[in-house]
Amino acid sequence: MKINDKKSLIVLREKHQVDRYIREITQENMPVRVVIDETIVLDDCRFVCRDGKNKDLLIEAPLVPGEYPETGRATVTCAGASSLYTFESRVLSIELAEHRRMHVTVRFPDRITKRERRRHVRVQPLTTHPVGVWMVVAGGEVVDVEPVDISGGGISFMVTEEVSRFKPGDAIELTIRVPMFDDVSARAIVRNVIHLMDLTRIGVEFSSLSGDALTTITRYVAGREEQMRQEAFEDD
């Protein structure tokens, strides 16, 4: 096979992949974020299906007060249930639409990056509304630990004292204080232990969690995920 033939196959493969990703985004009606020239941020957008041969992409966005360039560079991020899709393109036009919406037309991309999201979304607690975690260790001693992130499947935290006794496979009991919710109890299994100078990060997986406790943690994680998405559209 000639070099030019190989290049043609690569181009065709990438084009097919982009077409497939666009179909996935449209069929799932994914929320879309558009950032124009790294300064104008448009959230709560959606792709609009078009009939005919026009391959440019039409994105419906909320009407946000301000001045918009006639053209510019656009970074588009689409958040699916299990994947994130990102591509860069050029803005071709911005027009007013009905019901305080506007239409942003961007050039059909040559490449789209797709990243799988975690099965359990991990979020970092707010420092202003921290998650509290207490761990019961041997002898019934209760140790206050500092959480790093939390998900519906587990939690990781930092400890500073007598950490060498923890190893993967150890069973522990936790009490978790979830902001705006009640305290929950959980049993967990240590999955990883990472030593960092005078601190140690321990990651655990929940092994026993009541339905109410799981609902509490899931609701908290969903709320934090939405806050983090508004800050930097993503997910850890």
From the number of C-beta atoms within 10 Å of its C-beta (0-12, 13-18, 19+), residue 214 rates as middle
In this prediction, residue 118 carries a pLDDT of 55
Domain with CATH 2.30.110.10 in the chain: 3-116
The rounded distance, in Å, linking the Cα atoms of 212 and 199 is 32
Q: Per residue of the chain (236 residues), what is the pLDDT tens digit?
A: 444 444 444 444 567 788 889 888 888 888 888 888 888 888 888 998 765 556 799 999 988 777 778 789 999 988 876 778 899 999 999 988 888 889 999 999 989 988 876 556 778 888 888 899 998 876 677 888 888 898 888 999 888 765 557 788 888 899 999 988 889 999 998 888 887 767 788 889 898 888 888 888 888 888 887 777 666 544 44
- Classify domain 3-116 by CATH number: 2.30.110.10
* Contact yes or no for 102/95 (Cβ under 8 A): yes
In this prediction, residue 8 carries a pLDDT of 45
In this prediction, residue 164 carries a pLDDT of 55
Residue 147 to residues 40, 203, 207, Cα–Cα distance (Å): 34, 10, 18
- Classify domain 132-231 by CATH number: 2.40.10.220
Domain with CATH 2.40.10.220 in the chain: 132-231
Counted residue by residue, the chain has a size of: 236
In this prediction, residue 120 carries a pLDDT of 64
